[in-house]
Structure 1
Amino acid sequence: MNPVEELHVSHAPAQLAEVEFHSPSTNDFWLPLFEVGGLEFTRGMLVIVLVTGLLVAWMLWAAKRAAVVPSKGMFVTEGIYNFARNDIARDLIGGQKFKPYLPLIFSLFVFVLVNNLLGVIPPVQMPTMSSIAFPLALTLVVYLTYHVAGIKQHGLVGYLKTFVPSGLPAPIVPVVFLLEFVSKTITQPLTLVLRLFGNMLAGHMALALFIMGGWFLVNSGPLMAIAGAGSWIMGLLMTFFEILIQCLQAYVFTLLSASYIGAALADDH
């Protein structure tokens, strides 16, 4: 082997790293499985269907296992339900007004939580909320709920009046009304969507970067394998941190949803 060939071989890992490694991007989250009538059915849609089926089966099982002395499984189920009921719905909506909206609040919490956790649970490892269409659909349900609830409670004109606190000087009433109208119709739903979507997207991309980068470094030579192992360790640590964020974001999404409903039902601003 001549010196030129030896130099080429010795630099093969660096060349391989430069040519073949591709950092994760948003395109990696669009994973079509098959096409029906020109519409693609993606992996995220499949996960949503699986989660829905899982939750329906869980609720049916819980309904059949209801007892005065709950089993361990029922104890966990009742704990989650009581958390959604007492610490979210009742605290944020208040009084007896929360009861009609409790099924929605509980469903939102467990649905978002399970979908988020599947982002780190093999073999799924697909955070469906990292695709903006899913949090957008959930937010649309919340958006319609709190506006309809407010109109039903106060009437259309009365609901619009709640946008402005009583006792304000007349000249600033239009300004405050405009700000509140924009907040309730645009800002609130927009932040609800982007907070959940952004956290799930960023977290999964960070995990993918550490894991994919570690795998590539391990296969790029003995020295680079040390850095690859470090990348995997960081990926493991990030996984535990991501689980915390996933639970927190399910809680925050449900908490804000309940607060918007409670604000729409409130008698004063």
Structure 2
Amino acid sequence: MKGEFHAPELDHEFFPGYMKDGEAHNLIFTGFADGWFALDRLMIVRLIMAAVLVVFFLVAMRNPKIVPRGVQNVAEIALDFVRVHVAEDILGKKEGRRFLPIIATIFFTVLVMNLATIIPGLNISPNARIGMPLTLAVVGYIAMIYAGSKEYGFGKYMKSSLIVPNLPWPLHFLVVPIEAFSTFVMRPVTLTLRLMANFLAGHLILVLLYSATNFFFWQLNAWTAMSGLTIVAAILFTLYECIIIFLQAYIFALLVAVYIELSLHADSH
């Protein structure tokens, strides 16, 4: 008996409506509404994790007590972490509470979607495909522009964001495009790519490690000993992914809060 190694294929997981031999594969509901609501495995994982998040907070807050216990206590501790260590740390108490709903929504959405990467049977984060990270980045982008526009008016906000005070006027032809690109293009792009790339890379590494374990073990010769090394590496990397799951949610929410704070103080640019 010999093990066979199969390299991970991105087509099935990361390209909606994966085409093979002229037909779409790995989709369900393709016959409904001309396929507009067709789902692949990764979209199903996304819907499952979104349902888990909604059900968790519905159960936790269905009958809130003054002295929280059980699930309510867990939910309130999590919300307090986002409020104190993200929203209020960056924005202060007043603005932190004002923008807490959007910052908390982003944090918990990223966190729960990330959890799928280590859940047996799911084994992949929906954030490894660009759609969800891009959607969350756009939400943060809109909140950033809204905060500045509400504070100064749209025209003054744009002027404060793009024009550096006391700069010789010829340099504005160079500086304004740079500021526009860094503020209104790079911020959502880097938010999107950072989250997506981390979980795409993590998924591929775990697949390679577990595939290598299977390959080496079934050699049933001296190479079988290598399977012990690769399975230990896979377990250690899974533990590392647990840290990344939380860290990426924290960084994403923190950066959204920072961008909102910069918009609120655009005149001190």
**What TM-score range do you get, normalising by the shorter chain?**
0.7 to 0.9
- SS of the residue corresponding to residue 94 of structure 2 reads coil
| Alignment map for 1:80-99 (pairs within 5 Å) | 80-99=78-97
> What is the deviation of 1:28?
4.5
In structure 2, the residue matched to 1:130 is: 128
In structure 2, the residue matched to 1:52 is: 50
| Alignment map for 1:38-77 (pairs within 5 Å) | 38-39=35-36, 40-77=38-75
In structure 2, the residue matched to 1:199 is: 198
1:123 aligned partner, one-letter code: G
- SS of the residue corresponding to residue 166 of structure 1 reads coil
2:59·2:71 contact (CA, 8 Å) conserved in 1?
A: no
- SS of the residue corresponding to residue 118 of structure 2 reads coil
Cα shift readout 1:146-193 (whole Å, capped 9, x = no counterpart): 112222221122111222343333332343322111112211111101
| Aligned equivalents of 2:231, 2:12: Cα separation in 1 | 20
**TM-score, structure 2 normalization:** 0.87
1:24 aligned partner, one-letter code: P
| Aligned equivalents of 1:98, 1:175: Cα separation in 2 | 35
Gaps of 5+ in 1: 1-11
| Aligned equivalents of 1:91, 1:22: Cα separation in 2 | 47
How large is the Cα RMSD of the aligned pairs?
1.9
Describe the shift of the 1:143–1:129 C-alpha distance in structure 2 as closer, same or farther (beyond 3 A): same
In structure 2, the residue matched to 1:268 is: 268
| Aligned equivalents of 2:51, 2:35: Cα separation in 1 | 25
> What is the deviation of 1:245?
1.2
| Aligned equivalents of 2:64, 2:35: Cα separation in 1 | 45
| Aligned equivalents of 1:239, 1:38: Cα separation in 2 | 36
In structure 1, the residue matched to 2:6 is: 22
2:212·2:230 contact (CA, 8 Å) conserved in 1?
A: yes
2:7·2:208 contact (CA, 8 Å) conserved in 1?
A: yes
Gaps of 5+ in 2: 17-25
| Alignment map for 1:1-269 (pairs within 5 Å) | 13=2, 20-30=4-14, 32-34=26-28, 35=30, 36=32, 37-39=34-36, 40-163=38-161, 164-266=163-265, 267-269=267-269
1:81 aligned partner, one-letter code: L
**TM-score, structure 1 normalization:** 0.87
| Aligned equivalents of 1:144, 1:122: Cα separation in 2 | 35
| Aligned equivalents of 2:193, 2:214: Cα separation in 1 | 31
- SS of the residue corresponding to residue 162 of structure 1 reads helix
2:150 aligned partner, one-letter code: K
- SS of the residue corresponding to residue 117 of structure 2 reads coil
1:139·1:189 contact (CA, 8 Å) conserved in 2?
A: yes
| Aligned equivalents of 1:59, 1:110: Cα separation in 2 | 10
> What is the deviation of 1:55?
1.7
1:94·1:262 contact (CA, 8 Å) conserved in 2?
A: no
- SS of the residue corresponding to residue 124 of structure 1 reads coil
| Aligned equivalents of 1:33, 1:225: Cα separation in 2 | 37
Tell me the matched-pair count: 253
Aligned-residue sequence identity (percent) comes to 32
| Aligned equivalents of 1:94, 1:165: Cα separation in 2 | 25
